[in-house]
Amino acid sequence: MRAPDVLQDEALRRLSRAERLLMVASGKGGVGKSLISISLASTLSEMGRKVGLLDLDVHGPSIPQVFRSERLIRATKHGLEPLKIDGLELMSLGYIVRGSPVPLGGEDKMSLLKMMVALTNWSNLDYLVVDLPPGTGDEMLLAIRALKRHPRSGAVLVTLPSMLSLSVVRRALDLLRGEGVRVLGIVENMAYIRCGGDTVRPFGSLDYASLGVNVLGSLPLDPAVEEAIASGKPPHKASREVMEAISAVASRIEVMM
């Protein structure tokens, strides 16, 4: 008889409380996972859904950079309460450690992730969106365990249309498929730049057909995204083009889930 893993059980249970569980991953860093998970969460919320956003990036949490708050995380009888900002429920280690480094690896990191997720007290959400760090390590493994036991779950993979990015995404895709996780599709980020009347594709164009996944949408590389983040505005509304692209992705996800 093997004793139960109390914290992992509770972590997975709490992740499965949401009606739908949506993981945003890539394998690669700096491709826009955080931007896209944040934008999808905001868009789904504006579509009338109750949405939570979980930041599993313990080394480089990005969610607090966009949804800024000086408020302390509150602990109640039910655990750690997510912050409520702009109609979203948010949990990120960044709200606890602020800008300080979190040097951790291996078992300790897994144990931190389990404890954080096991304690977070989401309300009854329609969607829980999970923002993953780069890599296919502990964070993704924990998320995969949750997705596997959730009947309405799926993963979105973010990539640049570059060969190096795609080769990493392909590995993540292999991993997810091998584990039986439903991959809803990929989002191509920073695909093109509008410059005057021209459209430039800095990374060129890739054919995703060999991957056998849907392309849920393409986002431009738009300086308005950084400007929006710098001025504390929601990035999904950075420009009309970004907003429309994200809305299209969110609508496709709604239909698929």
Ligand X SMILES: Nc1ncnc2c1ncn2[C@@H]1O[C@H](COP(=O)(O)OP(=O)(O)O)[C@@H](O)[C@H]1O
- By the criterion CB under 6 A, which residues form the site for ligand X? 26, 29-35, 62, 189-190, 219, 221-222, 225-226, 229
74 touching another protein, by CB under 8 A: yes
Which of positions 12-41 make contact with another protein (CB under 8 A)? Answer: 13
Nearest residue to 143 (alpha-carbon basis) of 127, 155, 126: 155
Choose among ligand X, Mg ion, another protein, none what residue 227 binds, the Cβ cut-off being 5 to 8 Å by kind. Answer: none
Phi-psi region of 146 (alpha: psi -120 to 50; beta: other; left: phi over 0): alpha
Kindly give the pairing relationship between strand 79-81 and strand 74-76.
antiparallel
Q: Give me the least distance between CB of 32 and ligand X, in Å please.
A: 3
Question: By CB under 8 A, which span of 9-17, 29-37, 167-175, 203-211 interacts with another protein?
Answer: 9-17
Q: Give me the least distance between CB of 117 and another protein, in Å please.
A: 11
CA distances from 172 to 77, 135, 157, 182 (A): 37, 8, 8, 12
Q: Which of 6, 163, 164, 200 binds another protein (CB under 8 A)?
A: 6
Which of positions 151-210 make contact with another protein (CB under 8 A)? Answer: none
34 touching Mg ion, by CB under 5 A: yes
73 touching another protein, by CB under 8 A: yes
Cβ contact 159:166 at 8 Å: yes
Kindly list the residues in this chain that would bind Mg ion in the complex (CB under 5 A): 33-34, 62
Kindly list the residues in this chain that would bind another protein in the complex (CB under 8 A): 1, 3-7, 9-10, 13, 72-80, 93, 96-98, 100-104, 108-109, 111-112, 115-116, 118-119, 121
